[in-house]
Amino acid sequence: MPQNVIVPKISVLTFCFNEENNIKKHIENVSFADEIIFMDGESTDQTVAIAKEFGATVIKQNTTDKIQQQNIAINQAKNDWILLLNLDEYLSPELKNEILTKVSDHKNNELYYIKQTLFFFKKKIKHGEFNNKKRIFLFDKKRYSYSGDEKRKSNISFFKSNVLKNRIDSYSYKSFDEYNYKLSLLSKKEALELYDKNMKPNFYHFLLKPFFNFINQYFIKFGFLDGKEGYILAYINSFAVLKRYLILWLTYNKME
């Protein structure tokens, strides 16, 4: 970037829980930001102490609603530009430079999406449904009200100018058990959302929907090209779909 360009200050927001072995590395990776905020889920190790030692702000989670907690942190952030991260994500030098270039442009957009490169069992996943997934990554809180649901706001389009060219590396899933556990939490969350909408599961949800999910991820989106890791991802994701509707059925029948 040109030396005479004034770069707006950025606040980084990240959830954390018992991450004493990773917190320092994360802070170093986002050291270009003016403010680093951690939303802590009552860590019992040295996560909070280490974060504060390196100058980060720590906000105690006071709600189980992730989006609500993020909005609390967004409102407390002192800068307009907000960067939403997971602690297991890594920003390359090229991505950092792109971020700074975007926010410095006087014609910048109100928000930017990013695609991730998933590493599963230490292997880079190049195919499947993860390859083209986008999420809100960077936005100006003065111009955009964050909801956590990209699809809810029809006036926001996926134009190329809204999607960053560089991907973010995600190391969120280091083992089968960890990935399966996080999928189980997601299945339960989605099941309760469907319950609130009075949706009742049927034959299609229990049999066909998981089957088509596997076919889509493993064959149509070429997950098989990622070898055994691609098969595992397709299998456990299709099982997570089945589990979503099983939990929904159990909820309707007042069963655990």
The predicted structure's pLDDT at residue 54: 95
pLDDT given at position 2:
53
- Rounded Cα distance, 134 and 234, in Å: 19
Does residue 49 lie within any of the structural domains? Answer: yes
pLDDT in tens, 113-151: 999 999 988 889 999 888 888 899 999 999 998 877 654
Q: Enumerate residues 6+ apart whose C-beta is below 8 A from 220.
A: none
Residues whose CB is less than 8 angstroms from the CB of residue 98 and which lie 6 or more positions away in sequence, other chains included: 164, 165, 166
Q: Which domain range does residue 30 map to? A: 10-172
Question: CA-CA distance, 202 to 107, in Å (whole number)?
Answer: 49
Question: Domain ends where: 139, 172, 205?
Answer: 172
Mean pLDDT of 216-231: 94
Is there a single domain that holds both residue 137 and residue 184? Answer: no
Domain count, the chain: 2
**Confidence category of residue 100, pLDDT binned at 50, 70, 90:** very high
Q: What is the mean pLDDT of residues 144-171?
A: 74
* pTM listed for this prediction: 0.82
Q: Which residues contact 34 (CB under 8 A, 6 or more apart)?
A: 9, 10, 11, 78, 79
pLDDT digits (tens, 9 = 90+) for 30-77: 999 999 999 999 999 999 999 999 999 999 988 778 888 899 999 999
Pick the closest to residue 148 from 74, 210, 224, 95 (CA basis).
Answer: 74
Contact criterion met (CB below 8 Å) for 89 and 32: no
209 domain-assigned: yes
